[in-house]
Amino acid sequence: MGKYRFIAIDVDGTLLDDNDKFDVNRLNQDIELLQRQNYHFIIASGNSYDALSTIFQPCPLVKEFVAENGGRLIVNGKSVYGKTHSIATLQQLYAFIKHTFPSPDILSLSGETQTILAEQYRDVPVLFYPHHTYFSDLQKITEPIYNLNVGWAKRKLSQAIIQGYVNQLNEQFPNLIQATYSGAYGIDILPAGVNKALGLKRLVENYLNGTLDQVVAFGDTSNDIEMLSEVGYGYAMKNATADLLKVADKVTRYDNNHAGLLSEIEHQFINRYKYYVN
């Protein structure tokens, strides 16, 4: 895959297995071998940077992030771009969700430094939010908000039902937001014009001196559709949702519970290199 310079990976359902684990040592070794060949290794996730920096704390070579589904870019620990919601938009969304959909099992806001959950979820365990607090009045939130996430994990609503909610949100707020199915029974509600493809394009072109057609990307669900459709080569995980499988150039041989991502990266980018240098 000689023309490619960038490898962009999703996290949940792609790198992480269903228990939110990954082989840290194997990933670190693979990134080192990729960097020796001058590849950039990019994280492209719907997660907040707070969550991502915690996940990749034991991986010091991971330095380039497309967080919040493209709404926030971080290079070498510095935020270089961000697109946020206004409080007025958040108020409209909160009211619409409350009066239109079944009561969510969780509702949270991704802020600059932490996740902010609605007060009624104070008793819900949120181990996946490293730093968090609670709100009862949106007007009192002072930090930038990149994403409103709402989910029904306890109810285990089908993807088809949740996609219907996504469509309703996008129809109701066409110039304000971009809602997308996030996996794990949830919806990410982003500012209009935000998706992983646009975020990745901005990162690669403006900060890494490259182009989107030089990117190989890996993902597993609906919020990866734009990314896999627009990069040079798009891999869907074997465990990917049907809508993503339709747009992928190729499907990994193994799923996320069997190191499908790292196996494919090693097969395509590392094994031949190791053969020639040895």
Confidence band of 243 (pLDDT split at 50, 70, 90): very high
| Sign of the CA dihedral with 91 first, then 93, 99, and 104 last | negative
Q: Read off the pTM.
A: 0.92
Mean pLDDT, rounded, for 70-88: 96
Give me the pLDDT at residue 126, please. Answer: 83
CATH number of 87-191: 3.30.1240.10
- DSSP helix/strand/coil, 151: strand
Extents of the domains making up the chain: 6-82+195-274, 87-191
Phi-psi region of 216 (alpha: psi -120 to 50; beta: other; left: phi over 0): beta
277 burial (CB, 10 Å; 0-12 / 13-18 / 19+) is exposed
Give me the pLDDT at residue 275, please. Answer: 52
Give me the pLDDT at residue 21, please. Answer: 96
| CATH for the 6-82+195-274 domain, from 3.40.50.720, 3.40.50.1000, 3.30.70.20, 1.10.10.60 | 3.40.50.1000
Confidence band of 19 (pLDDT split at 50, 70, 90): very high
Share of the chain above pLDDT 90, in %: 91
The H or E element containing residue 201 is helix 196-207
Q: How far is CA 94 from the centre of its chain?
A: 22
Give me the pLDDT at residue 274, please. Answer: 63
Confidence band of 184 (pLDDT split at 50, 70, 90): confident
Under a CB-based contact definition with an 8 Å cutoff, are residues 61 and 35 in contact? yes
Question: Strand pairing of 186-191 and 177-183?
Answer: antiparallel
For the stretch 111-169, pLDDT in tens is 999 999 999 999 988 877 889 999 999 999 999 999 999 999 999 999 999 999 999 99
